[in-house]
Structure 1
Amino acid sequence: MLVLDTDDLPAADRFEVLHTAVAQEGGISSVEESEPATRMWKRLEVWHFGPLTLFDTRGTGVRFVRSLRKARRELAGKVSVMTQAEGYGTASFGCDGHQRHLATHGIGLTPHMAASHEYSWSGNGRSIAFSVDIAHLDLPVDMVRAAVPLLGHSPVESLLLQHIQGLHRHADRLSGGPESEALAAATLQLTRALIVSVAGNEHTRREVARETLLTRVLAYLRAHLTEPDLTPRRVALAHGISVRTLYRLCEEGGLSLEKWIIRRRLEGARTDLAATDQSHRTIESIARAWGFANPTHFSRTFREAYGTTPGQWRRHARNGVSLPGREEP
């Protein structure tokens, strides 16, 4: 949901309206713009997934500061996770004395009740972040705080990052919908796993690892979905379990591993086939990009799932024709 676009405002009002918006939505104490009002630009969007609030902030260079006093007064009990969007260079993140250059592969974490925070970028930048009550993480504040400088050492960081990017990509369609609570729960499970993996004691790590295993497996599958060698054996090895345990885990979670992978690959290929910016690519190249090495197998599977061939779907989608085919698998 669009909250603010400063291009819609007179230059004289932009700074004040921006500060009011980010103070209200994100508890920011001060905003320092690198451009004068006539050249500065900010766009702020916000979505809600159950208890979780997702933010997309983009625009010209800026420095956001949240003081400890303001955080304790207005954001007590909140925790935020920040990422720098792909294609927008490097941002600078600071929390509780810890500084980190936050490139597109990193995550910043802020427990508001325990730390001040600043976030900045030069040139055009974009941040995708979420905040939630720390109670939903069910972890001690001291543990969350201890994890702040250590996140880059966790193998879970990349999984959570991929998950946040996917959540943002489909936010307009999914926020507030029937999947919203489940998506929030998965996000929180991955966040718990990230924190505990670098700051938890051995007992807590084992317990959270067990609780979040299926969520981490699904996040791993999404992150590597387009790779043809995404086999059960590889997935099991990546999580330190046997293939038999992996299948049992999926069965207990109510899903078939192979069918889940094929469904998500088909969804991705179907979207690309209909996209105008992918019209220069052949059906075979799109199929390969989504992990289907055999074009015949892809066409047959696509038709079984959607009741039409990839070529027919592409032609009708380009012409804006709604196909009567089957429900998505």
Structure 2
Amino acid sequence: MLLFDTGSIAPADRADAYREATVTETGSCAIDHEPGPDGHISKRIETWNFAPFSMYLNSGNSGFRYWQTARHLRQDSWNTVSIISQAVGQGSFIWNDHQQTMTTRDLIITNKSAGYWEINWTGPGATLCLLADAGQVGLPDRIVHAAVPHVLRSPVTPLLLHHMHGLRQGGDALASGPGADELGQATLALVRALVASVGAPEGMRREVADETRLTRILAYIRAHLADPDLTPARIAAVHNISLRSLYRLCESGGVSLEQWIIRRRLEGARRDLSAPEHTHRTIDAIARSWGFTNASHFTRRFRAAFGASPRTFRAAGARPILEA
């Protein structure tokens, strides 16, 4: 959902209008803009809600600098946790004495009580941010602070990155769909697991790891759906549990593992069959890209799930004929 766009605002008023919109959403902060190629700034903010998180895509045609300090926390007393990745271009993150590059493969986490922090980029760029009240995340500030400089070495980081970019791609449809609350809770579990994995003492790490294990497993599966060798045995081995424990964990969470994997692969194939950018690809190529190595098996499962064969679905203009 589009929250803010400078396109309808007079150039002289854009910086102030952008700051007002940002402060309303994220709390007290400071912002600088580099002028764009035409001498003016051009910025957009898109937002989606996956409670307890709000997700923002902040994009622009020129450099950008956003920072918060302890003074900003005192001004509005709203302590938030932010998880940020660069969606376009390359930027940097500074937290007290820590500094790191930000690309689409990097992730940073911080909160307003962490002291001075800033993000910035030069030239055209965009950042993707998850934001929640620190109380909703439910981890002590000292644990979040301890995690800040070590996020990139957490095994949870690539799972959360993949999850965030999946939420962005789904955008309005996911945020307005019946599964939005479940996606929010999955996001919360991944954020808690990430922070605990690099910032918490051993006892808390074990507690949070146990609490979030199924969510992390499902996130791992989503990130590897295209692998034809994604088997229960491989999933169990990666997560250092036995195959029996994996099935027991899934059962307790109401998940039928093989059917869950097939359904998500079918949904991915259906999205590609309906996407204009994939019209040049054959149905077999799309099926293989989602882990289906047998064309007749894919056609049979697709028809059972959606009420039409992949060929009929595509020929009908990619309109769902029957929703399973």
Task: Please confirm whether the aligned pair reaches a TM-score higher than 0.5, indicating the same fold.
Answer: yes
Moved over 3 A (4+): 36-39
Aligned residue for 2:124? 124
Aligned residue for 1:72? 74
Distance in 1 of aligned mates of 2:187 and 2:212: 10
**Comparing 27-36 with 55-64, which one deviates more in the overlay?**
27-36
Tell me by how many angstroms 1:130 deviates. 1.3
Tell me by how many angstroms 1:207 deviates. 1.0
Distance in 1 of aligned mates of 2:77 and 2:224: 36
Tell me by how many angstroms 1:323 deviates. 5.2
Aligned residue for 2:133? 133
Aligned residue for 1:94? 94
1:228–1:293 CA contact under 8 A, matched in 2: yes
TM-score (normalizing by structure 1) = 0.93
Distance in 1 of aligned mates of 2:271 and 2:177: 20
**Distance change >3 Å, CA 13–CA 77, structure 1 → 2:** closer
1:71–1:116 CA contact under 8 A, matched in 2: no
TM-score (normalizing by structure 2) = 0.94
| 1:67 alignment partner AA | T
**Distance change >3 Å, CA 109–CA 323, structure 1 → 2:** closer
| 1:272 alignment partner AA | D
Distance in 1 of aligned mates of 2:99 and 2:182: 33
* CA-to-aligned-CA distance 1:135-180 (integer Å, 9 cap, x gap): 2222211111010001111000111111111122223123255423
Question: Runs of 5+ in structure 1 lacking a partner?
Answer: none
Name the count of aligned residue pairs: 322
Aligned residue for 2:204? 204
Distance in 1 of aligned mates of 2:320 and 2:207: 47
**Comparing 64-73 with 268-277, which one deviates more in the overlay?**
64-73
* CA-to-aligned-CA distance 1:70-112 (integer Å, 9 cap, x gap): 1333253311111111xx2321111233211112111111121
**Comparing 253-262 with 172-181, which one deviates more in the overlay?**
172-181
| 2:285 alignment partner AA | S
Distance in 1 of aligned mates of 2:201 and 2:21: 39
Distance in 1 of aligned mates of 2:131 and 2:67: 16
Matched ranges for 1:223-302 at <5 A: 223-302=223-302
Instruction: State the secondary structure of the residue aligned to 2:245.
Output: helix
Question: Runs of 5+ in structure 2 lacking a partner?
Answer: none
Distance in 2 of aligned mates of 1:238 and 1:166: 22
Distance in 2 of aligned mates of 1:45 and 1:323: 27
**Distance change >3 Å, CA 250–CA 303, structure 1 → 2:** same
> What's the RMSD between the two structures over aligned residues?
1.6
| 2:127 alignment partner AA | S
1:75–1:112 CA contact under 8 A, matched in 2: no
